[in-house]
């Protein structure tokens, strides 16, 4: 066993080794029997249990700072979500279920909806599961799942970690983090980077590894049995950045935020985002059984735009479809939703829905004072791009672009850029389609590594076209949040990088420390590499 070596996806840089501490598996599904003698009394147990869970999480949040505090507060608020609790109480009343089972089933409905939504929202499934397990544990009177108390520096190994658990980790005690599941865009990955803890996700077989100590390489994704020597080769701490995306030689690269709600926008503005490169508008639609009115959308969008008055914000129009079911759209069943009617394709059949959204966006832009552009998701051809731009300008939004997340769009980037004002690369979905690898499946997570040379070569095609035509090319996928990869993307012709607010300072500081010629050198090395590990090594050489 001493020679055992596994490989996952490195999501947070650094190398560390030390003794293993395993995180207990989540609670199983609670029994549906026996039925309670008094359903009203049983249902009445749910809200007090939720209050206890929320109070504990808020107490932990009060002791935390920055990103960890925000995540803990969000999870605490989710524990007291009236919609979740009301649904659980209804299940007790209507089906005579025990309270714990009712909470579990109510959460299952929320989880199914998020998984169907895909992308960013599907990555929030772990948050709901965490809240569910804490509520169930409280109702059953058993200890809540999560990270055990650490008495010495250790390597944490888990199937996956809830965001609230990750947010509460102490970098002084957690040498490294390894999970069997998860992917490079998961909340766990994002938080591990913000805490400066080396992390590897999607490391298949790590739970079956009989090892007392592990050596973890968060850059290469390698995980191997070690002799137990404690090693920490990472630095945690606040990164200083002046809030301007500029290289040391004056080359400009805008550093922007990805947002999906008013809270996201406030966090991004506080973290120094120069604007927003991706505003996901789905939040306004997913909780509604009918299409929100123009005025309802206007108010919802204005609340997100408000923190960025006078600054650029790119609003993505509704990214919905068969894999993101919205009842009012009445989608037809499809054998393969990922390749079906989604994104802009929905608007070809229902242009009225797009037109009302564009009208609301234009009004919200006027209300907020933000410099608003719009872009369409799931565009495959120049003709589709031109159709969208015409409708956007007809609605009063002068600056319009499209997402490049289908390989075909990257291959005809020059033609698309001739009819739009800008493009933005959605590297998460682009990788998914390039490698035919579902981004939510841990078994193929290695293919979705944003350092894959095949993906970088598609980015270069788009960057070259943007440079030739003098049109902006952004990246709003998770690739933009890796400071070293941000340098490579800059060298490939990308002019703006948009990311979760936790990554802004790290990327901005890294860009400020380098020059455009070094970025181009790093890009050439990564492009010619045979695999992601070699691409990282080649990119690191000039820096």
Token pair of 340 as six digits: 């079906």
* Cβ contact 234:50 at 8 Å: no
Query: What string of DSSP letters covers 445-498?
Result: GGGG-TT-HHHHHHHHHHHHHHHHHT--EEE-SGGGGSHHHHHHHHHTT--EEE
The answer to whether 160 and 189 are in contact (CB under 8 A) is no
Question: 104 an active-site residue?
Answer: no
Helix (H) / strand (E) element for 385: namely helix 382-394
476 is catalytic: yes
Rounded CA separation 450/430 (Å) = 10
Q: Count of CB atoms within 10 A of residue 262's CB?
A: 17
Q: Which residues pair with 91 in a beta bridge?
A: none
* Environment class of 464 (CB within 10 Å of its CB; exposed 0-12, middle 13-18, buried 19+): middle
In 3D space, the residue among 314, 370, 320 whose CA is nearest the CA of residue 345 turns out to be: 320
- Angle (nearest 5°) at CA 408 between 404 and 409: 30
Q: Which residue has the tokens 């089972």?
A: 101
Q: Which helix (H) or strand (E) holds 255?
A: strand 254-259
DSSP at 96: -
Q: In whole angstroms, what is the distance from residue 274 CA to residue 257 CA?
A: 8
Task: State the residue for tokens 């509604």.
Answer: 288
8 Å CB contact between 221 and 203 = yes
The DSSP secondary structure of 399-453, one letter per residue, reads -EEEEE-SHHHHHTHHHHHTTSSEEEE-HHHHHHHHHT--TT-GGGGGGG-TT-H
Contacts of 122 (CB under 8 A, 6+ apart): 114, 115, 440
Catalytic residue among 203, 284, 476, 487: 476
Other Cβ atoms closer than 10 A to 505:
20
* Catalytic positions: 187, 476
């Amino acid at each position: 066993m001493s020679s055992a070596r596994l490989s996952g996806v490195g999501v947070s840089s650094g190398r560390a080794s030390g003794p293993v501490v395993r995180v207990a598996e989540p609670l199983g599904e609670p029994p549906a029997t026996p039925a309670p003698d008094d359903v009203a009394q049983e249902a009445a147990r749910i809200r007090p249990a939720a209050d206890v869970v929320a109070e504990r999480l808020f107490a932990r949040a009060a002791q935390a700072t920055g990103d960890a505090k925000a995540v803990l507060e969000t999870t605490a608020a989710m524990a007291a979500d009236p919609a979740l609790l009301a649904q659980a109480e209804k299940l007790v009343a209507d089906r005579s279920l025990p309270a714990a089972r009712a909470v579990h089933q109510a959460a299952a409905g929320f989880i199914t909806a998020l998984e169907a939504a895909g992308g960013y929202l599907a990555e929030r499934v772990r948050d709901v599961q965490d809240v569910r397990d804490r509520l169930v544990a409280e109702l059953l009177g058993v200890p809540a799942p999560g990270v055990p108390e650490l008495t010495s520096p250790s390597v944490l190994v888990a199937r996956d970690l809830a965001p609230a658990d990750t947010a509460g980790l102490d970098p002084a005690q957690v040498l490294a983090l390894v999970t069997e599941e998860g992917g490079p865009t998961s909340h766990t990955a994002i938080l591990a980077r913000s805490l400066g803890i080396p992390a590897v996700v999607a490391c298949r077989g790590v739970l079956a590894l009989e090892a007392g100590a592990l050596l973890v390489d968060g850059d290469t994704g390698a995980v191997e049995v070690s002799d137990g020597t404690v090693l920490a080769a990472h630095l945690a701490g606040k990164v200083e950045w002046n809030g301007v995306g500029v290289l040391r030689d004056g080359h400009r690269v805008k550093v922007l935020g990805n947002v999906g709600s008013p809270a996201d926008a406030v966090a991004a503005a506080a973290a120094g985002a120069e604007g927003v490169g991706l505003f996901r508008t789905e939040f306004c639609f997913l909780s509604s059984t009918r299409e929100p009115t123009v005025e309802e959308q206007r108010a919802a969008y204005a609340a997100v735009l408000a923190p960025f008055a006078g600054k650029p914000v790119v609003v993505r129009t509704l990214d919905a479809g068969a894999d993101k079911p919205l009842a009012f759209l009445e989608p037809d069943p499809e054998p393969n939703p990922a390749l079906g009617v989604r994104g802009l394709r929905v608007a070809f059949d229902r242009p009225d829905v797009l037109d009302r959204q564009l009208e609301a966006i234009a009004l919200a832009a006027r209300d907020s004072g933000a410099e608003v552009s719009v872009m369409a998701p799931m565009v495959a051809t120049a003709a589709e791009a031109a159709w969208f731009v015409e409708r956007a300008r007809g609605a009063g939004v002068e600056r319009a672009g499209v997402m490049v997340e289908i390989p075909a769009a990257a291959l005809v980037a020059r033609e698309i850029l001739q009819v739009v004002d800008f493009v933005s690369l959605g590297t998460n979905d682009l990788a998914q389609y390039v490698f035919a690898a579902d981004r939510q499946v841990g078994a193929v997570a290695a293919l979705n590594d944003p350092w894959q040379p095949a993906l970088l070569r598609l980015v270069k095609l788009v960057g070259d076209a943007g440079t030739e035509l003098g049109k902006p090319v952004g990246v709003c996928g998770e690739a933009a949040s890796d400071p070293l990869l941000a340098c490579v993307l800059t060298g490939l012709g990308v002019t703006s990088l948009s990311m979760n607010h936790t990554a802004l300072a790290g990327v901005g500081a890294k860009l400020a420390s380098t020059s455009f010629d070094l970025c181009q050198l790093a890009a050439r090395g990564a492009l010619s590499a045979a695999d992601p590990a070699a691409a990282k090594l080649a990119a690191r050489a000039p820096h």
